[in-house]
Amino acid sequence: MPFWDSVRDALSLEGKAVNARSVIPGSRTEAPEVYGTQMGQTGSRFAAASAKRQLEAYGSGTDKAMDWVADCMGVIAETAAHAAWHLEDYEGNTAPRSRAEAEKGARLADPWLVQLLEEPNGYQSWEEVIELFVIDRYITGDGFLLKRGDDGQGRPLQLLRLPPQYTEVVPGKKGELIECYEYKAPGQPPVKLAPEKVIHWKGPNPHDSYRGAGVIAMGPRVFDGEIALTETKTAYYENGARLEGVLEAEQAISESNAAKLRRQFAGIYAGARQAFQVAVLGRGLTYKPIQSNAQKAEFGLMSDQSRDRILALFRVPRVMLGLASETSSTTAPGEERRNFDNKRMRPILNTLQTLLTKELTADFGLQLKIDYEYQMPIEDQFKLGAEFAKIPGVLVKEVRKQFNLDPLRDVMAGPKADEAEEIENLVLNMPGENDNASGVKDRPLPGEPGRTPDPGNTATFDEAAQRQGVAVT
């Protein structure tokens, strides 16, 4: 059975009776600027036709698909879908998914909830559902998940993604914010869904209180320009990049003869396969090209500008797509990655985990937490650790922690544990003699900030030998 046929069957199981979600306490007369016609409260159904057009930009085999849109959205959606996650209670204690992950006596997460999250439905995994959910939200402005069925205890049987181009929001008529959601698959009768059965991830939209605004809607002319530029470049090279020009004759010719000459000339010399051939003209005809070349058309510059505008709208840095950073940029590639993780992905995941907690896991007394943090490259970690080790008064154990190394007392367990603890508490980069267990005075680091190097701070050969019981002559 095709996937969406099964979805339609699943939707048909939902009852036709819809209990509308009540409005927040208060009446429309108390806040007319919120509930009035300014926000689109007309009582009519809101069409989802724009969602279909916007999704075509992501990729649908049409001439509206844009590779930079797919690249940017792919980075965001795949990162969100493949991030690890766990469940917590409201006191911050982790609820393990299985007994193998749990300490003895620890409370496990409800197995029903765990299975629902790991296997939302029989057709898609968690990663597939979340990736589509994120794409829908940021391309069209609206992501919809259906909590299908009921096990008798208010728990859903499945989570199904509802394509936004087939899902409409029906505004309330008697004080309700939303009367229902309506799913209308092509060629099928509409199915009404209760608001509490639908998880609606809506993007901010100051012009519509029921449908969100996606990235495409935030910069439509940018994307129109990208399509027009791509079509122009394609036509330029498909036509051989040579054909546009003027045919001149020594004498006047009729319109019918002119049309015939135009067709004959284009048929012989047009197209990429005919590019740069030598035209042989008779009857006093001459050809003068008037089209500028690719360099004068500035295709390269305009393509780069169009790409960078799209990347800016999605807030995806060039380095995340494998592109070299601009030489004039003051932001290093590592900093761009850090900003993307902390300023782009982390807010998206915070919003997603809050929404799913409110709409799903809160019924089980748990919170969903998505484990995604910026991971500094190993070479940057060592550079930072080396600079940290130069701080006057820093302890050995603090330096090891900065390098993500295990405590030395764990590495040197057993009889040497006490010795390891003494080494961990050594103070580095301080002037004067060092009374630590090694008995060796601290050596100042070359170019160390904070003090002037003093040769007296370094143990001499004689001193070191005497401590070892070696006679010095």
Domain ranges in the chain are 3-218, 221-294, 378-467
**Closest Cα partner for 157 from 355, 10, 1?**
10
Residue 444's pLDDT is what?
Answer: 52
Residue 239's pLDDT is what?
Answer: 60
Beta bridge partners of 162: 144
Check residues 132 and 325 and name the one with the higher pLDDT.
132
Residue 23's pLDDT is what?
Answer: 36
Residue 275's pLDDT is what?
Answer: 54
List, in order, residues 6 or more apart from 186 with CB less than 8 Å away. 166
Residue 29's pLDDT is what?
Answer: 38
Asked if residue 28 lies in contact with residue 175, where contact means CB atoms within 8 angstroms, the answer is yes
Residue 172's pLDDT is what?
Answer: 83
Q: Taking residues 254-279, report their average pLDDT.
A: 67
Check residues 111 and 467 and name the one with the higher pLDDT.
111
Asked if residue 217 lies in contact with residue 38, where contact means CB atoms within 8 angstroms, the answer is no
Does residue 424 carry a pLDDT above 70?
A: yes
**pLDDT, tens digit, 9 for 90 and up, residues 307-354:** 889 989 999 998 888 887 765 566 676 788 889 999 999 999 999 999
**pLDDT, tens digit, 9 for 90 and up, residues 216-232:** 888 888 888 888 878 77
**pLDDT, tens digit, 9 for 90 and up, residues 53-93:** 888 888 776 777 888 888 999 999 999 999 999 999 998 88
Residue 21's pLDDT is what?
Answer: 38
Check residues 256 and 449 and name the one with the higher pLDDT.
256
* CA–CA distance, 145 with 163 (Å, rounded to integer): 9
Q: Taking residues 17-23, report their average pLDDT.
A: 38
List, in order, residues 6 or more apart from 183 with CB less than 8 Å away. 11, 146, 162, 166, 167, 190, 191, 193
Asked if residue 394 lies in contact with residue 403, where contact means CB atoms within 8 angstroms, the answer is no
**pLDDT, tens digit, 9 for 90 and up, residues 86-107:** 999 998 888 888 878 777 777 7
Tokens (6 digits) for 285: 């005809």
Beta bridge partners of 378: none
Check residues 432 and 33 and name the one with the higher pLDDT.
432
Farthest CA pair distance, the chain: 118
Check residues 202 and 62 and name the one with the higher pLDDT.
202
Residue 38's pLDDT is what?
Answer: 35
Residue 40's pLDDT is what?
Answer: 40
Check residues 271 and 44 and name the one with the higher pLDDT.
271
Residue 102's pLDDT is what?
Answer: 74
Q: Taking residues 408-428, report their average pLDDT.
A: 77
Check residues 18 and 346 and name the one with the higher pLDDT.
346
Go through the chain and tell me how many residues it has: 473
pLDDT-derived band of residue 374, with 50, 70 and 90 as boundaries? confident
- Average pLDDT over the chain, rounded to whole? 75
pLDDT-derived band of residue 428, with 50, 70 and 90 as boundaries? confident
Does residue 11 carry a pLDDT above 80?
A: no
Residue 24's pLDDT is what?
Answer: 35
Asked if residue 39 lies in contact with residue 208, where contact means CB atoms within 8 angstroms, the answer is yes
* CA–CA distance, 457 with 440 (Å, rounded to integer): 9
Residue 442's pLDDT is what?
Answer: 53
* CA–CA distance, 402 with 387 (Å, rounded to integer): 10
Which ranges of 315-345 does DSSP label H, i.e. alpha helix?
333-339
Strands 198-202 and 191-193: unpaired
**Closest Cα partner for 405 from 427, 388, 429?**
388
Residue 12's pLDDT is what?
Answer: 47
